[in-house]
Structure 1
Amino acid sequence: MPCFSCGARQTDPVRGVSPWKRGVRRETQVLICPDCQRAHDLDLDTCAACGSVALICRLGEVECRSCGAVRLARAGRPASAGNAAGGAAVTGGSGTPGLADEVQAALERVLGRTR
């Protein structure tokens, strides 16, 4: 996955902790390269409980890595809806399937289920 801001691709990591960071923007998990981390206008979603931008997006939920608050995903949230105290969308603002949709489709293919 490239940096959501500049499109740079992550290279094979050197030993140790990766300098790339994760974040949530418009209810979608994104990666942020070290250069873009210096920008203060990344427009990342924030935690409703503590205001932190240290969020991760999992299947159906968004978790704050700072305070541990978890909120359920909310499908169909418009991309223009900035930072919010509500839930998370499973799809990005462009109408493309989100990770949860992709995983669900893959499971249905593997297990032979139909929608």
Structure 2
Amino acid sequence: MPCFRCGARQTDPVRGVSPWRRGVRDDRQVLVCPACQCAHDWTADLDDCAGCGSTALICRLGEVECRDCGHVREARPGDGQGGRLACAPRADAPGLAEEVEAALHRVLRRGPAG
């Protein structure tokens, strides 16, 4: 899943706590890269909890839950995407197929397809 602000993709994780942050925007789970965390007030673009106002939300199984106060609400249905719940990750991110192909070529040590 890319950063929702700049589109950067995570690289292979290193041990320890990830510098990427999670949040919920328009009832979708999103990630924020470290560069966007420094350059923008990234929490202003996220949904907040109706109970306590926190932006520490997670989206799972059609629900949005606040990690601070525990308030849970049902996620709103997606916007005409075949009935998918809003929390479902997007598989149609631009460039994903190309990135997967390049990764497979690196791992399998193949030359360019052709």
Indicate the TM-score class for this superposition, using the shorter chain for normalisation.
0.5 to 0.7
Aligned partners of 1:52 and 1:25: how far apart in 2?
Answer: 13
**Amino acid of the residue matched to residue 49 of structure 2?**
C
- 1:45-88 CA distance string (max 9 Å, x none): 0001111111011111000111111111232xxxxxxxxxxxxx
* One-letter code aligned to 1:51: G
Structure-2 residue corresponding to 1:59: 61
Unaligned runs of 5+ in 2: 92-114
Pairs within 5 Å for 1:22-61: 22-38=22-38, 39-41=40-42, 42-61=44-63
Task: State TM-score, norm by structure 2.
Answer: 0.66
**Post-superposition, which runs of at least 4 consecutive aligned residues in structure 1 deviate over 4 A?**
none
Structure index of larger Rg = 2
Question: What TM-score do the two structures reach when normalised by structure 1?
Answer: 0.65
2:7 maps to 7
RMSD: 2.0
Aligned residues: 84
Q: Which 5+ residue runs of structure 1 have no aligned equivalent?
A: 76-90, 103-115
Equivalent runs, 1:36-115 vs 2, <5 Å: 36-38=36-38, 39-41=40-42, 42-75=44-77, 91=78, 93=79, 95-96=80-81, 97=84, 98=86, 99=88
Counting aligned pairs with the same residue, the percent is: 68
- Cα distance, 1:43 vs. partner? 1.2
Residue identity opposite 1:29 in structure 2: Q
Which is helix-richer, 1 or 2?
2
